[in-house]
Amino acid sequence: MKTPILLLIALLAFPTIGFAKPNLTLHVFECGNIEVRDISMFSPGIDKGVTKELTNSCYLIRHEKGTMIWDTGFIDAIGENGAEGFGGMIKMTVTNPLSKQLAEININPADIDYIGISHFHGDHTGNTNLFSNAALLIQQAEYNAAFGPAPEKFGFNPPSYAQLDKSKFKILNGDHDVFGDGNVVIKSAPGHTPGHQMLYINLPESGPIVLSGDLYHFTKNRTHKRVPSFNFNKEQTLVAMEAIENFVKDENAQFWIQHDKEQNATIKHSPEFYK
């Protein structure tokens, strides 16, 4: 009888032994293109007048306990003709609508359980109204700014998220474990906006990945820790950069910069997926 007792003790001491990781997958979508006509807006005093192409990324997380959209890109209606922004400093286009990409993998936006928005700038909230049935996961500071008396002051566009069901909102104050098992975790990283946040995903086969939000917009700015001129708070941004970099190192995670076109070209996109 000693062997079963010893086995029970071992299982209690190491409760994950013998248990499979949850069914968890990640789809990456192209959610717009950005032509930046003066990249120094992202790095004040550096590369004045230099142009750069950026991308815009959205993601679908499928967990055995539910589904979650992370960021929703430019609104599909922008289309291939595009639109100007930042006083003509950027041109935005959409060549592959998010709604079409979701339909290709048989996803109905009305069936999504959660929506996480890294921050409420228009290039991240454009298609948010597609997910009006989903529960929004939002930091208190971002909620106060986005749904307060003057959202435009923060560069937010209220009509792009006006159809969300406020009764389903989950207001956060810091990190949040979305499905309760430590594999999909929202990380608070304020500074770019008052309640900017990022996403950690620990996939069974691909391992841990951190999605950047707009902590950085491209690799060069990550290398040099440069803060865009339009960030809400430079000091908060720098603190968030240090904290997240330490987290990425500790977790030995991949770090995906959501706007970095060159890095994004190395990542497989839907209908392929990571698991």
35 in any annotated domain:
yes
- Which CATH number goes with the domain that contains 125? 3.60.15.10
Q: CA-to-CA distance for 213 and 196, rounded, in angstroms? A: 8
Burial of 212 (0-12, 13-18, 19+ CB in 10 A): buried
15 in any annotated domain:
no
8 in any annotated domain:
no
Q: Which helix (H) or strand (E) holds 184?
A: strand 184-188
- Please give the pLDDT value at position 218: 97
9 in any annotated domain:
no
Our count of domains for the chain comes to 1
- Give first-to-last CA distance, the chain, whole Å: 41
Q: Which domain holds residue 47?
A: 21-264
- Please give the pLDDT value at position 6: 41
Residue pair 58/73 in contact by the 8 Å Cβ criterion: yes
- Please give the pLDDT value at position 88: 87
- The stretches in the chain having pLDDT less than 70 are 1-20
Q: CA-to-CA distance for 92 and 20, rounded, in angstroms? A: 43
171 in any annotated domain:
yes
Instruction: Name, in order, each residue with C-beta under 8 angstroms of 231's C-beta and a sequence gap of 6 or more.
Output: 191, 192, 193, 237
Edge-to-edge strand list for the sheet holding 83-85: 83-85, 90-93, 24-36, 52-63, 66-70, 114-116, 135-139, 170-172
Q: Is the peptide bond before 97 cis (omega within 30 degrees of 0)?
A: no
Q: CA-to-CA distance for 249 and 186, rounded, in angstroms? A: 17
Q: Where are the alpha helices (DSSP H) in 60-184?
A: 98-104, 122-125, 140-146
Instruction: Name, in order, each residue with C-beta under 8 angstroms of 32's C-beta and a sequence gap of 6 or more.
Output: 55, 56, 73, 74, 78, 92, 93, 94, 123, 126
16 in any annotated domain:
no
12 in any annotated domain:
no
- Please give the pLDDT value at position 192: 98
275 in any annotated domain:
no
- Please give the pLDDT value at position 20: 57
